[in-house]
Amino acid sequence: MKILVIGSGGREHALVWKIHQSPRVDKIFCAPGSAAIGELAECVAINPEQLDRLADFAEKEHIDLTVVGPELPLTLGIADLFESRHLRIFGPNQAAAQLEGSKAFTKEILRANGIPTAAFATCADAATAKRYLVRQKSPYVIKADGLAAGKGVLICATLAEAEAAIEEILVQKAFGAAGDKVVIEEYLDGEEASFMVLTDGEHVLPLASSQDHKRVFDNDQGPNTGGMGAYSPAPVVTPEVHERVLREVLTPLLDGLQRKNIRYRGLLYVGLMITKSGPKVIEFNARFGDPECQPIMMRLKSDLLPLLEATIDGKLDQVTAQWHQDPAICVVLTANGYPGAHDKGKEISGLDKLADWQQGFVFHAGTAKDNNRWLTTGGRVLGVTARGKSMAEAVTEVYRAVGEISWAGMHYRKDIARRALPHS
Q: Which is nearer to ligand AMP, 164 or 321 (CB)?
A: 164
Helices 126-133, 159-166: axis angle to 10 degrees equals 160
Q: Is 305 in the site for ligand AMP (CB under 6 A)?
A: no
Q: Is the peptide bond before 239 cis (omega within 30 degrees of 0)?
A: no
192 binds, among ligand GLY, ligand AMP, none (CB under 5 to 8 A by kind): ligand AMP
As measured in angstroms, the least distance from the Cβ of 279 to ligand AMP is 13
Q: Is 287 in the site for ligand AMP (CB under 6 A)?
A: no
As measured in angstroms, the least distance from the Cβ of 335 to ligand AMP is 21
Contact 113/256 with Cβ under 8 angstroms? yes
Q: Which is nearer to ligand AMP, 200 or 283 (CB)?
A: 283
Rule CB under 6 A: which residues touch ligand GLY?
Answer: 150, 212, 227, 285, 289-290, 292
Q: Strands 360-364, 347-348: parallel, antiparallel or unpaired by DSSP?
A: unpaired
As measured in angstroms, the least distance from the Cβ of 185 to ligand AMP is 4
Sheet holding 347-348, edge to edge: 347-348, 373-376, 367-370
Contact 157/139 with Cβ under 8 angstroms? yes
Q: Which is nearer to ligand GLY, 55 or 69 (CB)?
A: 69
Q: Is 118 in the site for ligand AMP (CB under 6 A)?
A: yes
Q: Which is nearer to ligand AMP, 153 or 417 (CB)?
A: 153
Q: Which is nearer to ligand GLY, 81 or 273 (CB)?
A: 273
As measured in angstroms, the least distance from the Cβ of 57 to ligand GLY is 26
Which residue in the set 65, 188, 386, 405 belongs to the binding site for ligand AMP (CB under 6 A)?
Answer: 188
As measured in angstroms, the least distance from the Cβ of 214 to ligand GLY is 7
As measured in angstroms, the least distance from the Cβ of 403 to ligand GLY is 24
Which residue in the set 77, 150, 222, 350 belongs to the binding site for ligand AMP (CB under 6 A)?
Answer: 150
Q: Which is nearer to ligand GLY, 292 or 303 (CB)?
A: 292
The CA–CA distances, whole Å, from 318 to 253, 310, 337, 406 equal 22, 8, 47, 46
User: x/- contact string, 79-108, with ligand AMP (CB under 6 A)?
Assistant: ------------------------------
Q: Is 133 in the site for ligand AMP (CB under 6 A)?
A: no
292 binds, among ligand AMP, ligand GLY, none (CB under 5 to 8 A by kind): ligand GLY
Contact 80/145 with Cβ under 8 angstroms? no
Q: Which residues contact 257 (CB under 8 A, 6 or more apart)?
A: 96, 109, 201, 263, 264
Which residue in the set 185, 200, 248, 290 belongs to the binding site for ligand AMP (CB under 6 A)?
Answer: 185
Beta bridge partners of 140: 156
Q: Which of residues 245-284 bind ligand AMP (CB under 6 A)?
A: 271, 282-283
Q: How far apart are CA 249 and CA 105, in angstroms?
A: 16
Q: Total residues at the site for ligand AMP (CB under 6 A)?
A: 16
Q: Is 224 in the site for ligand AMP (CB under 6 A)?
A: yes
Contact 405/333 with Cβ under 8 angstroms? yes
The CA–CA distances, whole Å, from 249 to 71, 211, 264, 288 equal 21, 18, 14, 18
Output b/e per residue, 362-384; b: 16+ Cβ within 10 A: bbbbbbbeeeeebbbbbbbbbbb
CA 67 to chain centre: 14
Which residue in the set 147, 153, 208, 228 belongs to the binding site for ligand AMP (CB under 6 A)?
Answer: 153
Q: 3-class SS at 398? A: helix
Q: Which is nearer to ligand GLY, 150 or 222 (CB)?
A: 150
Q: How far apart are CA 184 and CA 155, in angstroms?
A: 10
Nearest to 254 by CA among 240, 242, 270, 238: 270
Residues in contact with ligand AMP by CB under 6 A are 118, 141, 143, 150, 153, 155, 185-188, 192, 214, 224, 271, 282-283
